[in-house]
Structure 1
Amino acid sequence: MAKEGLLWPRGVQPKTKLSIAIATMARWLCLCLLTISICLGCAHKQTLQPDRLKTVQAPPKTVPERLKTVATFKGVQVTGVTSTNTGRLFANFPRWREGVSFSVVEVSPDGSFKPYPDAEWNRWEGYPQPNRFTCVQSVVAHGDSLYVLDPSNPQFAGVVGSAKLFVFDLKTNQLKRRYEFDSGVAPQRSYLNDLRIDDAAGKIYITDSGLGAIVVVDIATGNTRRVLAHHPSTKAEEITLKIDGKEFLRNGKPPRIHTDGIELDRKNGYLYYHALTGYHLYRVPTKALVAAFYDPKQEPALEAKVEDLGKTPAPDGMMFDAEGNLYLGDLEHDAVVYRTPAGEILTLVQDPRIRWADTFTIDPNDSLIFTASRIHQVPQNGGIDDMEFPIYSLQLPHSSAPQ
């Protein structure tokens, strides 16, 4: 029992004391209820879906360090980046305009870079030549190899010669394999965009963002097949992206950029893909892709197994970590998000410097590395000599070595 004089004055009658005690307890109860209400209101505010794509902010414990600049390229637009399992870093530059002085480089830890595998491979004289790059769109390090995808479609004017995939031995830096794609697999208006290597199935999967399709390549034989070329999952949606408060237009119209981002869930046997101008993420079992590769009659069965995983922000590239989180760019909000294994979309980082997060890779130090290709900011006509195109990195908040 509280001592007299602490909760009420000395000499107050018991009934009055009781009334005072009840009133005091009531005030405490109201205060507690008010505090709980405020807390619940804050929690509700934190989990509200801020836009139509239901992207939510990541919990405070996942907030990463500030962005670090790995390298900057002035006057030349970078799109792809990839890290080897030993930490070597490579980047590529498509020939989307005149004056691209190199197609593939190796980036040193100090941010300097040099043409890869050498200057001769990167020399351009206006037309395709043997053992030279034409218009490199993507580089992917896998094991002891560097895969260099060349859609051979400079300035989006149409495929010249044939699209190719070069494979370099990272131990010797010499070409060890070349895949060429005829017009049946890479038609004139195609633009082979990105790839993943499936060692278990012995296949390579490539997106075509120009027309919309998945190209399947047999690693051993080099045989190829174009699949899902008529399925809506590989096609752009009828949307107009809005970036920096402006509609993203080309020649006065919203572009339709088809299957672009691609990622392989090796553990569960799924290929994930996404149109660039689109809000829906899709996946399909790799077994179904392989079955359709060997038997075209399996195409309807393949289409039937495509899964729509729901809405995400409009991204460019994609990357899984070891925990099954799928990293994507959010082009409309200067951000990088990730989709958890449970399907929730969380914001990893949002920063005005992230101008079109293009391609992702994870290095051996558990840093997410990505390019800012500034596609929405480059002029359709005129030079980009004064523009800078960076590669950024940030330490991931959890164990995220690639699958």
Structure 2
Amino acid sequence: MKNISFLLILITSVMSIKAQNTAGETEVFATTAQAVGNITFTDTGNLVYSHHPFFSPENRVMIMDAKTKESKPFPNKAWNTPRTTDDNYLSNVLGIRNDENGIVWMLDMAQRDNVTPKIVGWNTKTNQLERIYYLPKSSVPKHSQPNDMVVDTKNGYFIIADEGIGNGGDGTNAAFIIVDMKTGKTRRLLEGTRTTLPENTPTVINGKHLAVNGKDLLVGNDGITADANFDYIYYGPLNGTKIYRIKTLDLVNEDLTETELDGKIETYSEKPNNGGMSIDTAGNIYLTALETNSVAVVLAKDKSAKTMVKDSNMVWPDGVSYNHVDGYMYVSAAQVNRGAVFNDGKDVSTKPFYIFRFKPIVKGVSFR
């Protein structure tokens, strides 16, 4: 009887711990030795992920075998090795996306080396370079920080969210960058406007403000995704209370003035301070809630924001992406708030770094 009572207490304790850690069914898919930024997938479901650039990793992008959990540099070691002879290598990458053609697109902010920012496309079917799109200074000025993007193969554009915090920027230059897939032409839009600017909603984690030299870091246009048909772009500043949306064809329409463009933006829903953003086929939007170790979901049926999954080890959940092979949403825990820049020059992050996964409400949208 005593043993049975002890067993019941043990089971109850375990259930209590799980309840405290998770709001939904989530699991640790893998752990890594370095911080993971964003995640995408190959046709076969292997994970391609960026090492978060805040930690100055040796290898910028990695690929993990979904079965063995073994990782190696992606697309190879040479592309992760800086050199002076050319700039066909990855400097620092956060945003990373796949498309239906088997191409993984990597958004290189190029802030660690004196090279041109660019989008590098690697064809995972042929294992060779597909194309490089260079981003000129007119589209990526001094305080630019191109963070994440939508790869819109239907309309033929890369749509990039620029946080506006590069090289000491304070978010006031946050914007969109539009790249024409056919011509490579780039344009910078809606810089420092009402929906790309951060709000005065500082990031506070465990009572501590995310600050640099005692000043709250306020981050502009950040999370971005598109619906299943590329009809709408959903986005918002990291530090902000709203998700906005705009018709894709309006956003890329060169005939619209900035004022006309701003007038076509809708306020879609409330949100917490968030990083990455994804969507499912029913229009439910998943976003990483940085301050609460969780992934939130904005329900399409009523636009209410709920906690989807939560875990005590989900410290600074960053990218969230759907794997079309196994039907799971994947989310990284990058521990950015524990990096040296936010802790008086001392890196207080702890190994391991986690990659979680969970089942979305309905089937996710694969290629965004």
Q: Output the TM-score relative to the length of structure 2.
A: 0.84
What pairs with 1:284-303 in structure 2 (closer than 5 Å)? 284-291=246-253, 294-295=254-255, 298-303=257-262
Match of 2:63 in 1: 106
2:135 to 175, 181, 189: 181
Does 1:251 find its partner at 2:213?
yes
Q: Give the AA of the match of 1:131.
A: N
Match of 2:354 in 1: 390
Deviations 1:116-139 (A, max 9, x none): 1111111135x7942211111121
> In 2, Cα distance between the equivalents of 1:128 and 1:378?
32
The 1:247/1:128 distance shift into structure 2, 3 A limit, reads farther
- The one of 322, 332, 357 aligned to 1:371: 332
Query: What does residue 70 of structure 1 align with?
Result: 29
Inter-partner Cα distance in structure 2 for 1:115 and 1:400: 27
Equivalent residue runs for 1:198-213 within 5 Å: 198-210=152-164, 211-213=173-175
Displacement of 1:338: 0.5
Partner of 2:293: 334
What is the DSSP-based 3-state SS (H/G/I as helix, E as strand, rest coil) of the residue aligned with 1:179?
A: strand
Pairing 1:22-41 to 2, within 5 Å after superposition: none
CA apart distance, 1:268: 6.7
SS in 1 for 2:199: coil
Query: How far did 1:382 drift?
Result: 3.5
Conserved? CA contact 2:224–2:233, under 8 Å = yes
| 1:23-68 CA distance string (max 9 Å, x none) | xxxxxxxxxxxxxxxxxxxxxxxxxxxxxxxxxxxxxxx9642x32
Equivalent of 1:221 in 183, 187, 206: 183
Deviation at 1:386, TM superposition (A): 5.0
Letter in 2 for 1:233: T
- Letter paired with 2:202: T
Residue type at the aligned position of 1:165: I
Distance in structure 1 (CA, Å) of the matches to 2:293 and 2:364: 22
- The structure 1 segments of at least 4 consecutive aligned residues displaced by more than 6 Å after TM superposition are none
Q: Assess if the C-alpha contact under 8 Å between 2:338 and 2:349 holds in 1.
A: no
Q: For 2:200 and 2:60, how far apart are their aligned partners in 1?
A: 32
Question: How many Å separate the matches in 2 of 1:79 and 1:374?
Answer: 10
The letter of the residue matching 1:344 is: S
Q: Which amino acid aligns with 1:137?
A: L
Q: Contact 1:234–1:258 at 8 Å: present in 2 too?
A: yes
CA drift at 1:285? 1.1
Give the C-alpha shift of residue 336 in structure 1. Answer: 0.9
Q: State how far apart, in whole Å, the 2-side matches of 1:133 and 1:174 are.
A: 15
CA distance in structure 2 between the partners assigned to 1:374 and 1:201 by the alignment: 35
Structure (1/2) with the larger strand percentage: 2
How far is 1:184 from its partner?
0.5
In the alignment, what sits opposite 1:12? Answer: none
Q: CA deviation at 1:283?
A: 0.9
- Could you tell me which amino acid in structure 2 is paired with residue 95 of structure 1? P
Q: Residue in 2 aligned with 1:9? A: none
Rounded to whole Å, the distance in 2 between the matches of 1:86 and 1:306 is 37
2:242 maps to which residue?
280
Name stretches of at least 5 consecutive residues in structure 1 with no aligned partner. Answer: 1-61
Q: Do the aligned partners of 2:210 and 2:337 also contact (CA within 8 Å) in 1? A: yes
Corresponding residue for residue 94 of structure 2: 137
Contact 1:194-1:260 within 8 A present in 2 as well: yes
Aligned match of 2:6: none
Aligned residue for 1:322? 281
How far the C-alpha of 1:73 sits from its partner, in A, is 2.2
Residues 209, 257 of structure 1: 8 Å contact kept: yes
**How far apart are 1:299 and its partner, in Å?**
2.2
Cα distance in 1 between the residues matched to 2:363 and 2:145: 34
Per-residue CA deviation, residues 355-385 of structure 1 (Å, 9 max, x unaligned), is 1110011112211101101111223223568
1:7-18 equivalences under 5 Å are none
C-alpha separation in 1, matches of 2:331 and 2:59: 19
Q: Which moved more, 1:387-396 or 1:316-325?
A: 387-396
Check conservation: 1:198, 1:266, Cα contact below 8 A: no
Distance 1:129 1:253 in 2: 38
385 and 373 in structure 1: CA distance in 2 versus 1, 3 angstrom threshold: closer
Larger-Rg structure: 1
Looking at structure 1, the residues matched to 249 and 275 of structure 2 have their Cα atoms a distance apart, in angstroms, of 25
1:331-360 Cα distance to aligned partner (Å, 9 max, x none): 111111101112011211122111111001
AA paired with 1:371? Answer: S
